[in-house]
Structures are given as structure tokens and as C-alpha cells.
Amino acid sequence: MWGLIGGSGFENFEGFEVIEELDSSTPFGECSSGFKRVRVGGRELLFISRHGESHELLPSEINYRANIYALKRYGATKILSVSAIGSLKKEFEPGDLVVPSQYIDRTKSLRAHSFCGDGVVGHVSLAKPICPSLRMELDLLSKNFDFRTHFDATYVCIEGPYFSTQSESRFFQKIGASIIGMTNFPEYALAREAGLHYLPCCFVTDYDCWDDEIPHVTLAEILVLMKKNNGKAFHLLEVLLERGPKLDGCQCTEGGLKHGLLTPIEKLSKTQREHLAIVIE
């Protein structure tokens, strides 16, 4: 089953048929409001509004662990993460879809970013942080989209809620980043720990501030663009649901804590074992 995480501008989709509101409580606290089971084109999926149904959570206030845990507990095996981002490259224009394959974390350790800790130790590789099978599938499908799609970008994740300074923006370019956002970390890392297939789809709303010659859009223009991007994301979702990508042989499910847990299971408390069972099953 697909789990869809919707970011800024993607708190809801007009094409959703809501089946039921789901329990937002987890062992790691409450997941974002607006957690529900929905139907699109006769197919069911799970949906979480990343910032909450009323966009009430700052990027650092999002309970990323609870969101990923809740999605897996209710049966998600694949996650489509939809976000709004800024562009660090002229060729990545507002309205374009960018699919990052690498990340640079520039957050400030304010976010709980692992299911490990408190007596649980594990290590997983983030060398290839997104699902290669889903990325390849989307590459094939994107040739039929009526909007431009870019692959293999590097996303720098900053803490927010402030946007970057011009010096920071230029620094991010120099270290290889091509898009900038505030929410994909630790989402992709937790999805890897949980053995889930993770596909990030990032829609450009504006250019970051590295170049004074590039005109900056107004908030009103961004809101109009966000509405258009919402329609593009929904079409992408419909295509993926209809396609039903085959993931046999994909290593995402083997790269998590299922095989990365170092603390012996028998040394954990009953409660810890019960909580981790969802993550590593």
C-alpha cells in the first residue's frame, strides 16, 4: 500500500475520497493531524499532511518518527513524499518537478531522527537514500507528463523556519546542492530504518536568493503556483497508483533496522520489543 506525505501546498487534494480518519497516537507521540485512509481511482492509500491539516507545525515541530511509524503500522510499504522546494539552479524553474537522489543535512539536531536510542542501538546505510526502483519507474512515466521533471538532484535540508541568507545560498551551491527545503530530513532516514520504499517528489515554488538578477516571486504568485503544483502531484499519484510498480528484488526492505539492529532483541524491554516489531517486521 502507498503512503502519501503531503507538504506545503499539498495538505489536501480535491480528488480524495476520505474513507476514515485514523488514530494518530504512536509510541513516539502524535503524528501530524489529518492522518486518514483515502481512495483515489478505486485504490486505497494512506495520507498524512506533514505540517498538519491546518498547517500548524513548523518544520522542526513535525513528529517525523510518529508519521513514519503510523504509516507503517497501518500497512504502508511505499512512501510518496511531496514537498515544496526552492531552486539553486536556473534550469530548475518554478513549477518543475525535481526528484532528489542525494541529501545534505544542515538541520541543527532539534529533530528526533531515529527509532534507535534509549537503550536501542542500530546503524543503517544512507548511501542511496531513496528507492532506486521507484525512481526508475517515475523516470519512465515522466516522459508523458506535461511538466518538466529533473532527476538525480541533491537536496539540502535546512532547519527553518527562516529561508537562507544569500551567503548560505551560495555556499549550498558550492557544496553541490541544487534544491533547498526544510522537511525531507529525517523523513527519508526514518523510512530507510523502517524498511520502506521512499520516493521524494519536490515541486519548485521559487528560486533561492543566490542571484540578485533573478526576480523573486511574491507570496500571491507562490500561492497560485502551489495550487498548480498540487494538481501536478495528484496526477503523478494517479499514474503511480494505476501503474502499481513492481518492487521484487529491491533492497530497501533489507537495508533498515531489520538487519541493522546491534542491540540483541532479548536485551530490550517488552515495550521496546513491541514498538520495534512494527519498524523491523
Cβ atoms 186, 64 nearer than 8 A:
yes
Spatial separation of the C-alpha atoms in residues 281 and 270, rounded to whole Å: 16
Q: Dihedral, CA atoms, 7, 93, 222, 40, nearest 10 degrees?
A: -40
Domain 2-114+127-248 has CATH 3.40.50.1580: yes
Cβ atoms 44, 64 nearer than 8 A:
no
Q: Dihedral, CA atoms, 29, 32, 38, 41, nearest 10 degrees?
A: -130
Spatial separation of the C-alpha atoms in residues 32 and 61, rounded to whole Å: 10
Q: What is the DSSP letter of 179?
A: E
Per-residue pLDDT of the chain in tens (281 residues, 90 and over written 9): 999 999 999 999 999 999 999 999 999 999 999 999 999 999 999 999 999 999 999 999 999 999 999 999 999 999 999 999 999 999 999 999 999 999 999 999 999 999 999 999 999 999 999 999 999 999 999 998 999 999 999 999 999 999 999 999 999 999 999 999 999 999 999 999 999 999 999 999 999 999 998 877 777 888 888 899 999 999 999 999 988 777 878 989 888 999 999 999 899 999 999 999 999 88
Catalytic residue numbers, as ranges: 206, 208
Cβ atoms 249, 219 nearer than 8 A:
no
Q: Supply the pTM of this predicted model.
A: 0.96
Spacing of C-alpha 66 from chain mean position: 14
- Placement of cell 493531524 in the chain: 33
